[in-house]
Amino acid sequence: MGIRERNRRAVEREIDDAAMRLFVAQGFDATTTDQIAREAGVSPRSLFRYVGSKEDIVLRDMLAAGESVLAALRARPAGETAWEALRAALHVLEDNPPDRALALAEMFLRTPSLRARRLEKRLAWLDLLVPEVTRRLGRAPGDLPDPAAHAIVSAALACLDSATEIWARRGGSGDVVALFDEALDAVRHA
C-alpha cells in the first residue's frame, strides 16, 4: 500500500471516529455533515471526497466484512455442512469492539434510513456467499442462484440481524454470539 492510500485510510478513520462520537452524543439524524467535517478537521467539500453520505460513514466496511465472511467460509473444513460452515464463518464479525458494535446496533434500531441502507448493502452479501454455499451443498453452479443456498444464507443473515437487534434492545447485556447461535438453532430445528 502506497503512502497516498495510507493517508486516505487515515483520514477515513478520523472521519469515522469523529462521526461516531457525534452520532453517539447527539444521534444520527441530529448530526450534520458540517459537524462531522469540523470534528474530523476537514472541509465539508473534502468530507464528500471520502464519503457519499452519513450512511456511508457507518456502513463503509460492510462489503469488506462480507468478503471476510466469504474468506472464512471458504477456509472451513470440507466435511462441515453448509449451515455449520456458514455459522462458523459469520463469527469473524465478532472482531468489532463491543462498545462500537452496541453503538452501531442502537443506531440501526433508531434510524430507519440507516437500517434500509444496511439492508441494501447486506443484500450484496448474498451474491458473495450463495455460490460458496451452493458448492457446499454439492450443487452445480448456474446462472441463477440456487434456491436452497439462497434460503440458507438469507436465514443465517436474518438470524444475525435478529441476535444483534435483541442484544441492542437489552443494552448490550448478554452474549450476542449465544443469541446468534440460539436464533440459528431455532431456524434450523423449528
- The per-residue pLDDT for 18 is 94
The residue among 54, 70, 85 that closes a domain is: 54
Torsion 45-13-51-99 (CA) sign = negative
pLDDT tens-digit map of 97-120:
788 888 889 998 889 988 888 888
Percent of the chain with pLDDT over 90: 59
- The per-residue pLDDT for 146 is 87
Q: Is 168's pLDDT higher than 90?
A: yes
- pLDDT bucket at 60, cuts 50 / 70 / 90: confident
Angstrom CA distances, 148 to 116, 124, 130, 173, stand at 25, 17, 9, 34
CA–CA gap between residue 91 and residue 76 (Å, rounded): 12
Average predicted confidence (pLDDT) for the chain: 90
Residues 10 and 78 in one domain: no
The residue among 38, 54, 70 that closes a domain is: 54
Q: Is 171's pLDDT higher than 80?
A: yes
- What is the DSSP code (8-state) at residue 28? T
pLDDT tens-digit map of 126-165:
999 999 999 999 888 777 778 999 999 999 999 999 999 9
**Start-to-end C-alpha separation, the chain:** 48
Domain range for 38: 3-54
Q: Taking the mean position of all CA atoms in its chain, how far away is CA 67?
A: 10
* Counted domains in the chain: 2
- pLDDT bucket at 43, cuts 50 / 70 / 90: very high
Residues 75 and 130 in one domain: yes
Pick from 41, 156, 45, 58: which is nearest to 108 by CA?
58
Residues 175 and 155 in one domain: yes
Residues 75 and 50 in one domain: no
- The per-residue pLDDT for 125 is 93
Residues 81 and 137 in one domain: yes
Give the three cell numbers for residue 55.
Answer: 450512511
Residues 77 and 123 in one domain: yes
Q: CB-based contacts of 81: which residues, under 8 Å, 6+ apart?
A: 136
Give the three cell numbers for residue 16.
Answer: 469515522
CA–CA gap between residue 145 and residue 153 (Å, rounded): 11
Answering whether pTM is above 0.95, one says no
Query: What is the rounded average pLDDT of the residues 43-59?
Result: 90
CA–CA gap between residue 171 and residue 162 (Å, rounded): 14
CB atoms within 10 A of CB 85: 21
Q: Which residue has the cell 465539508?
A: 44
pLDDT tens-digit map of 7-34:
988 999 999 999 999 998 999 999 999 9
Enumerate the H helices of the chain as residue ranges.
3-26, 33-40, 44-50, 54-59, 62-75, 82-90, 98-110, 112-136, 147-169, 176-189
What CATH number should be reported for the domain holding residue 74? 1.10.357.10
- The per-residue pLDDT for 189 is 86
Residues 79 and 166 in one domain: yes
Is 95 exposed, middle or buried (CB count within 10 Å of its CB: 0-12, 13-18, 19+)? exposed
